[in-house]
A and B are shown apart, each in its own frame.
Chain A
């Protein structure tokens, strides 16, 4: 019989809380309260209901077959377990989320590589005291004056001065 007790993993709420970015904190709090409510409800219910004292009833109830009939039917009764419809959906969601987070991590790594490159360039620059204007324009291309677009001094729109 599968799925009687789907393992309830212990969740490290503190660690989880650390990783939540500030803009999703409200959702996290809602999830936590719901989770806590469910676990409280679960803890309040006993695992097995107390057993019925058949001997006592057999001795007390006068009608002969009634207690026996009840006992037979009771032990034959199988309470149907609630069907688990959501776990499959959750697994699908998890796969999607894993994929998108992997993509995000990739993009993030690419960005980090870019930043590293720029950092390298900045760190290995010659000091400003030894630069000529040509060197400056090579290091910072935005300082280069466009002499084709603005052929007359100061080679840039007056508003930019």
Chain B
């Protein structure tokens, strides 16, 4: 009897078995093993057990007797049974009865006062476990999503390899073109240099010839001036100067 009491009290007060059972909906009538073996996932177990009155007698008993005996029926039955057991000495009152009463009252007082606190504490422990598992799952989902995004980005990057080869070909084309142009320019420059050299050479020769000729003519003229002619030309110059000075004096 005591063990039955504890068994009944335990689910109502302490629910600390991991993993926790949850989402209670099914109340009184739970179909157990009514159908064939079910291979799919089972519905979740109810959160609370069946209701009991006074921690001992299930509610179904009262509902069972209600149509015939009304509300007080089960109580009458209980009282009658109790008096029967006591009067016929089927249950003997001795020292252990007193001990049982004391122990039970202490236990019931303890459960009633601290039961909800202990339950809350145990629930918190469970919550933490579940929250940790959930966090791990969420992180795994997030990691996978970022990995997928990265892969897509890398694919997009790999598409850009054509750019590289276009750039290389462009470089080659530019190099060829520029070297071709350089060659053309070089040819032009060389020819122009040669032609200019010829022109410059010609000009120089002509100039030299001119200078030489002028010098030779001068030399010859100077040579041909005899002393006689020199005297005559000097005298004439003096006469001209006198005449000029006279006219200048007159002008002034």
B window 163-192: CB within 8 A of A:
163-185, 187-189, 191-192
Contact assessment for A35 and B167 in the assembled complex, using a CB-CB cutoff below 8 Å: yes
Contact residue among A12, A119, A125, A131 (Cβ-Cβ distance under 8 Å from B19)? A131
Asked if A63 meets B198 with Cβ closer than 8 Å, knowing A19-B160, A136-B19, the reply is yes
A156 lies within 8 A of chain B by Cβ: no
CB neighbours (8 Å) of A128 from chain B are: 19, 130, 133-134, 137
Asked if A129 meets B148 with Cβ closer than 8 Å, knowing A19-B157, A66-B198, the reply is no
Taking the nearest CB of chain B, how far is it from the CB of A137, in angstroms?
Answer: 12
Contact residue among B141, B151, B183 (Cβ-Cβ distance under 8 Å from A119)? B141
Bound-complex Cα distance A122 to B143 (A)? 12
Taking the nearest CB of chain A, how far is it from the CB of B138, in angstroms?
Answer: 9
Could you tell me the dominant secondary structure of chain B's interface residues?
Answer: helix
Contact residue among A12, A52, A86 (Cβ-Cβ distance under 8 Å from B172)? A86
Bound-complex Cα distance A6 to B133 (A)? 63
B23 lies within 8 A of chain A by Cβ: yes
Contact with A along B189-222 (1 / 0, CB 8 A): 1011011001100100000000000000000000
CB neighbours (8 Å) of A109 from chain B are: 151, 155
Q: Considering only CB atoms and an 8 Å cut-off, how many residues of chain B contact the other chain?
A: 60
Bound-complex Cα distance A98 to B161 (A)? 8
CB neighbours (8 Å) of B104 from chain A are: none
- Our count of residue pairs bridging A and B at CB distance below 8 angstroms stands at 177
Taking the nearest CB of chain B, how far is it from the CB of A114, in angstroms?
Answer: 9
Contact residue among A60, A111, A118 (Cβ-Cβ distance under 8 Å from B202)? A60
Contact assessment for B178 and A41 in the assembled complex, using a CB-CB cutoff below 8 Å: yes
B159 lies within 8 A of chain A by Cβ: yes
Contact assessment for B169 and A52 in the assembled complex, using a CB-CB cutoff below 8 Å: no
Contact assessment for A115 and B144 in the assembled complex, using a CB-CB cutoff below 8 Å: yes
Bound-complex Cα distance A97 to B165 (A)? 9
CB neighbours (8 Å) of B50 from chain A are: none
B162 lies within 8 A of chain A by Cβ: yes
Bound-complex Cα distance A153 to B185 (A)? 92
A window 7-21: CB within 8 A of B:
7-9, 11-12, 15-16, 18-21
Contact residue among B137, B166, B171, B177 (Cβ-Cβ distance under 8 Å from A125)? B137
A152 lies within 8 A of chain B by Cβ: no
Contact assessment for A82 and B159 in the assembled complex, using a CB-CB cutoff below 8 Å: no
Contact assessment for B178 and A122 in the assembled complex, using a CB-CB cutoff below 8 Å: no
Contact residue among B22, B187, B195 (Cβ-Cβ distance under 8 Å from A67)? B195
Beyond A19-B159, A38-B171, 12 additional pairs, beta carbon < 8 A: A15-B160, A19-B163, A21-B157, A35-B170, A45-B178, A57-B199, A98-B161, A101-B159, A101-B161, A115-B144, A122-B140, A133-B19
- A interface, CB within 8 angstroms of B: 5-9, 11-12, 15-16, 18-21, 31, 34-35, 38-39, 41-42, 45-50, 52, 57, 60-63, 66-67, 70, 74, 77, 79-82, 84, 86-87, 90-91, 93-94, 97-98, 101, 104-105, 108-109, 111-112, 115-116, 118-119, 122-123, 125-126, 128-133, 135-136
Q: List 27 A-B contacts (CB under 8 A).
A: A5-B173, A11-B167, A18-B160, A21-B157, A38-B174, A46-B181, A46-B185, A49-B188, A52-B188, A82-B180, A86-B168, A93-B165, A94-B165, A101-B158, A101-B159, A104-B154, A105-B155, A115-B147, A116-B148, A119-B144, A128-B130, A129-B22, A129-B44, A130-B23, A131-B19, A133-B19, A135-B41
